[in-house]
Structure 1
Amino acid sequence: MHSGPEKARALDQRAIILDDVQSLGSMLILAPHPDDESLGCGGTIIRLRQAGLPVYVVFVSDGSMSHPNSPTYPAGRLRDLRETEAREALSRLGVSADACTFMRLPDTAVPFPDQQGFAEAVATLVGLIEAVHPATILVPWERDPHRDHRATWQLLQTARTHLTMPTRVLEYLIWLWELGRPDDMPRPDERRVWKVPIDTVIDQRNRAIAAHASQVTRLIDDDPTAFYLSPELLTHFERPYELFLEV
């Protein structure tokens, strides 16, 4: 398996700089979990907002499985905490608190096409996209190594078959660096690679990541099985640019 930096370099060598964020237009972002928006495309969100472009974020899952065995944060309380953190992160990215929707699908069980709840989730997503009418949609990469990220990609693919408006779709990267296998990597003939510079806004982006305190600190310390975005994991997001893939 290639290391995270090696994988990044492989894509970096193919990347075309996309510095004119105005060309992306209004944006809708699909975040499988609260924090994916900041990790995967937070710098780009800031730059879009600085350019006066509207940004809307859809949080797909309820995030309640990051600490599944915490006695002090059972699922409902953890969901509420993560939604509060998400709104604070959006504020730090320059996005208003009302410019988001929480779909509250089950964390680690966002449905795939052959599973119960998929059609209903697609219908909800179609309604949101038609209401927001974005020029561009951001979604995790098709083979990002987390089942909820892949399911979110599938939701969008099906939703697009019901849309009459044309929308550009860019895919962002979260777990490819840490968990990706060679066959998870995009092939050279499969996607165009874009690079959005975020060096001027990376400190602000980092403050948005820090808003997800339940994920990046030991705020909840009573579940030894908990997920934790350690400083070592976060090094994958220290690059002064964000990469996006496009068919």
Structure 2
Amino acid sequence: MGNREIISKLRVTFGAKLRSINAGILSRWILYFQSQPLAVSQKSAMVFSPHQDDETLGCGGTIALKRSLGVPVQVVFLTDGRYGRPEWIQPERITDIRQQEAVDALQILGVANSEIHFLNQIDNSLQNLPNDQRQDLVTRLAQHLQSFMPEEVYVPHKKDFHDDHEATYKLVQEAIALSGIQTELLQYPIWMFWQNPLSFSLKFEDVADARRLAISAVIDRKKRAIETYRSQHPGLPSGFLERFFLPYEIFFKD
């Protein structure tokens, strides 16, 4: 390995370490100093997930708690996740593998297959959909909302620093307006805290009105569900998953 390759690798390692430290500090500051406690409710919930694993990382404990109380929960996956592929999986197999991982993870959390919906949009396309495709997707999302009538809706944070995640927030907002239903919107962070502190762009208002939900009673189930996503672990930065093993989940009121 040449000097340039060594320097490049060191930069990547240092950058990941910096982001890991920043994410740990910020998430714990919000958890213990900037958030209000949130009790698990009996309200039915629909979780919108850009990719197969976001729902478990961001809401796995919440889903498990609600299902343990017999509360109806449905999960809607917007994309097919085709680009979340390690080298050892053939391109033509990844979407089927990710769907099966999602079904297995949600089974652990208590969600039946009949309550899981795959919309199969192309991964990494949500931000730039042509107008007709975008409107068609909003209509499909609205139909799911009208069919289930959830009292709570969970979406990625509007500033989650991932194009598909931020687009999911906007698409679901439009779908709620189109559906005409009354529901409570809660945002869950996945990549929001994973930023280089030297170029940090979050503002205080972006993390205001934070809520923390204690998930100690189901943390083992959440961990097992996360472990089900074996295809995704090799592509995640070192230290990224640590926050999702904490006994709390963070949400932001819209």
Q: Under TM normalisation by the shorter chain, which class is it?
A: 0.7 to 0.9
CA contact (8 A) 1:144 1:184 kept: no
Q: 1:186 to 1:205 in 2, by over 3 A?
A: farther
Give the aligned partner of residue 26 of structure 2. 7
CA contact (8 A) 2:127 2:163 kept: no
Instruction: Indicate yes or no: 2:80 matched with 1:73.
Output: no
Instruction: Indicate yes or no: 2:52 matched with 1:34.
Output: yes
Decide which of 237, 243, 247 is 2:250's aligned counterpart: 243
CA contact (8 A) 1:194 1:243 kept: yes
What is the Cα deviation at residue 55 of structure 1? 0.4
What is the one-letter code of the residue matched to 1:235? E
Give the aligned partner of residue 221 of structure 1. none
RMSD, aligned α-carbons: 2.1
What is the one-letter code of the residue matched to 1:79? T
| Structure-1 separation of matches of 2:195 and 2:63 | 25
| Structure-2 separation of matches of 1:72 and 1:42 | 25
What is the one-letter code of the residue matched to 1:47? L
What is the Cα deviation at residue 209 of structure 1? 0.6
Structure 2 counterparts to residues 134-213 of structure 1, below 5 A: 134-179=150-195, 182-185=200-203, 187=205, 191-213=208-230
Instruction: Indicate yes or no: 2:78 matched with 1:60.
Output: yes
Q: TM-score, normalised by structure 2?
A: 0.84
CA contact (8 A) 1:141 1:153 kept: yes
Q: Which moved more, 1:154-163 or 1:98-107?
A: 154-163
Larger Rg: 2
What is the Cα deviation at residue 236 of structure 1? 2.1
Instruction: Indicate yes or no: 2:64 matched with 1:46.
Output: yes
SS at match of 1:201: helix
Give the aligned partner of residue 5 of structure 2. none
Q: TM-score, normalised by structure 1?
A: 0.87
Decide which of 134, 139, 142 is 1:126's aligned counterpart: 142
Q: Please, which runs of 5 or more residues in structure 2 have no aligned partner? A: 1-18
What is the Cα deviation at residue 41 of structure 1? 0.7
| Structure-2 separation of matches of 1:8 and 1:131 | 35
Instruction: Indicate yes or no: 2:36 matched with 1:16.
Output: yes
| Structure-2 separation of matches of 1:238 and 1:72 | 26
What is the Cα deviation at residue 134 of structure 1? 0.3
| Structure-2 separation of matches of 1:200 and 1:85 | 23
Q: Which moved more, 1:29-38 or 1:233-242?
A: 233-242
